[in-house]
Amino acid sequence: MTSKLEFVRFPAPDGVNGWWESLPPAPPAQTVSSERSYDWVVIGGGITGLCAARRLAELAPDASIALVEADRIGRTTAGRNSGFFVDLPHDISSESYSRSVEADKADVRLQRHGIDYVRSAVRQHGIECDWRDDGKFHASVNKKGHTALAHFADGLSRIDEPFEWLDEAAIGKVTGTSFYEGALFTPGCSTVQPAALMRGLAATLPSNVKVFELSAVRKIDQRGGVNVLEFAAGRILAKQVVLCTNAYGATFGGHPNGLLPVYTFASMTRVMNQDEIRRLGGTRSWALIPADPMGSTVRRLGTDRICVRNHFAFRPSLEVSESDLANAKRLHQRSFDRRFPMLKGVELEYTWGGPLCLSANNGALFGRRDDGVYEAMGCNGLGLSRGSAAGKLIAEYALGESNDLVRQLLNQPHPRSLPVRPIADIAVSAAIWVKEFTAGAEL
């Protein structure tokens, strides 16, 4: 019997996720430790898998559904990001986040659909995840950044989206730092404590979903029309499988899948004391992304910590080294010191990385594969809002529903395949290096 799907890369620790660490300890995980049967199994407990499992359960309340996660839900990438549910165009491969009017409008429609779905679950179940509908600031540090923001503003005007310009003094009043020369405020973005959200979404799934953690699927065989999923200590038999493993499903370098595991990194400070909070000034909580997509994302959290994200690295092995983490921490410290000279002595307590799943043409995988497995993978850096939508919509598609957004995802470009390795590795790493170098002052 040949396996129809073998899993070759699994989540690694990749540093210490500050969002997860600052939560109370998680209840013990339930693992796959015997043989069980389900109608549906969703693989991957990130935002995409969580939304897929929820939507399947809502639409098919009599079906039995398993959600299986290799690590703990909330500890992997969906729980280790910067927590921006971005509603607006956000093509990180473009210099100003925007694309064409039609593509931008389609992105906004899809992303808001995902945000609305998750927000309603948060409200319905009272999930404590610091959900805020406070918008975000796109800040620039020089003329080049300002020009990029002006392009972005033009793009927003073309699709009738509101925004507001802030001068140096106004953005300084928000952030407490004089580092930024101006900013564009857009009101539609929501922010969260991502690990708390993922845990909360898992804990409030409908009762026909059974969650297994610390349970990595190793391979899937087909036996008499049933999918047999093998784990280290058990197996699941399932009529249907939905694959939501994002970067862990990437097969690249000459292979048609075209998904690229590109890491990005974040650090979180310790909690600031009253004197440090006074020295910083500004408002209690804000969320800021850089004018150049390769610059630094910064959030001040309601918990009196600051979180900084920057730096990208192509890591086909799906794990980072100690030296990757040390390098990221050094870059974060430099970015922090440049922005917050008044916070000397506020250490970065946690540093971690996580894989994004990019593609050369911003394409993603959505639909039913030739082997009958459903898939929703390829976050392109924006998994919180796009993954929410893709997860919800793959469940609708798999249950035979059709609507405009399902059709939009079915018609999106397939990720462009890259040349064979190691040419692909060199090309991707070189592209990242050039983009980071040109981001310069925004880092």
Sign of the alpha-carbon torsion through 240, 246, 248, 252: positive
Evaluate whether 52 touches 383 at the Cβ level (below 8 Å): no
Q: Does position 356 bind ligand FAD by CB under 6 A? A: yes
Q: Looking at beta carbons only, is 72 or 339 nearer to ligand FAD?
A: 72
Q: Looking at beta carbons only, is 10 or 165 nearer to ligand FAD?
A: 10
Evaluate whether 270 touches 420 at the Cβ level (below 8 Å): no
Distance in angstroms (rounded) separating the CA atoms of residues 332 and 334? 5
In the complex, residue closest to ligand FAD by CB: 383
Q: Looking at beta carbons only, is 275 or 322 nearer to ligand FAD?
A: 322
Q: State the minimum distance, in angstroms, from the CB of residue 234 to ligand FAD.
A: 13
Evaluate whether 312 touches 294 at the Cβ level (below 8 Å): yes
Distance in angstroms (rounded) separating the CA atoms of residues 418 and 255? 7
Q: State the minimum distance, in angstroms, from the CB of residue 356 to ligand FAD.
A: 5
The binding track of 82-121 with respect to ligand FAD, each residue x by CB under 6 A or -, is xxx-x-----------------------------------
Distance in angstroms (rounded) separating the CA atoms of residues 364 and 135? 26
Q: Does position 208 bind ligand FAD by CB under 6 A? A: no
Helix (H, G, I), strand (E, B) or coil at 164: strand
Q: Write the CB contacts of 207 (distance below 8 Å, at least 6 apart in sequence).
A: none
The binding track of 325-354 with respect to ligand FAD, each residue x by CB under 6 A or -, is -----------------------------x
Distance in angstroms (rounded) separating the CA atoms of residues 209 and 11? 23
Sign of the alpha-carbon torsion through 76, 78, 84, 88: positive
Q: Looking at beta carbons only, is 216 or 280 nearer to ligand FAD?
A: 216
- CA angle 415/318/417 to nearest 5° reads 20
Q: Looking at beta carbons only, is 47 or 346 nearer to ligand FAD?
A: 47
Residues in contact with ligand FAD, total (CB under 6 A)?
Answer: 43
Q: Does position 131 bind ligand FAD by CB under 6 A? A: no
Q: Which of 17, 18, 38, 77 binds ligand FAD (CB under 6 A)?
A: 77
According to DSSP, the β-strands at 297-300 and 234-243 are unpaired
Phi, psi of 39, deg, nearest 5: -70, -45
Distance in angstroms (rounded) separating the CA atoms of residues 132 and 134? 5
Contact segment (CB under 6 A) with ligand FAD among 58-66, 75-83, 163-171, 326-334 equals 75-83
The binding track of 4-33 with respect to ligand FAD, each residue x by CB under 6 A or -, is ---x--xx----------------------
Distance in angstroms (rounded) separating the CA atoms of residues 2 and 231? 17
Q: Looking at beta carbons only, is 166 or 325 nearer to ligand FAD?
A: 325
Alpha helices for 219-280 (secondary structure H):
274-280
Distance in angstroms (rounded) separating the CA atoms of residues 379 and 114? 13
Cβ neighbour number for residue 426 with a 10 Å cutoff: 12
The binding track of 260-299 with respect to ligand FAD, each residue x by CB under 6 A or -, is ----xxx---------------------------------
Contact segment (CB under 6 A) with ligand FAD among 31-39, 161-169, 241-249, 275-283 equals 241-249
- Residue in this structure with the two tokens 């950044």, named with its chain if needed: 145
Helix (H, G, I), strand (E, B) or coil at 294: coil
Identify each DSSP E strand in 270-419 by its residue range. 286-290, 297-300, 306-314, 348-358, 365-368, 374-377
Cβ neighbour number for residue 153 with a 10 Å cutoff: 19
Q: Which of 15, 46, 200, 295 binds ligand FAD (CB under 6 A)?
A: 46
Q: Does position 360 bind ligand FAD by CB under 6 A? A: no
Structural tokens at position 359: 């593609």
Q: Does position 379 bind ligand FAD by CB under 6 A? A: yes
Q: State the minimum distance, in angstroms, from the CB of residue 318 to ligand FAD.
A: 9
Q: State the minimum distance, in angstroms, from the CB of residue 363 to ligand FAD.
A: 15
Q: Which of 5, 42, 43, 53 binds ligand FAD (CB under 6 A)?
A: 43
Q: Does position 65 bind ligand FAD by CB under 6 A? A: no
Q: State the minimum distance, in angstroms, from the CB of residue 123 to ligand FAD.
A: 20
Q: Does position 45 bind ligand FAD by CB under 6 A? A: yes
Q: Does position 70 bind ligand FAD by CB under 6 A? A: yes
Binding site for ligand FAD (CB under 6 A): 7, 10-11, 43-49, 68-71, 76-78, 80-84, 86, 216-217, 244-248, 264-266, 309, 354, 356, 379, 381-385, 387
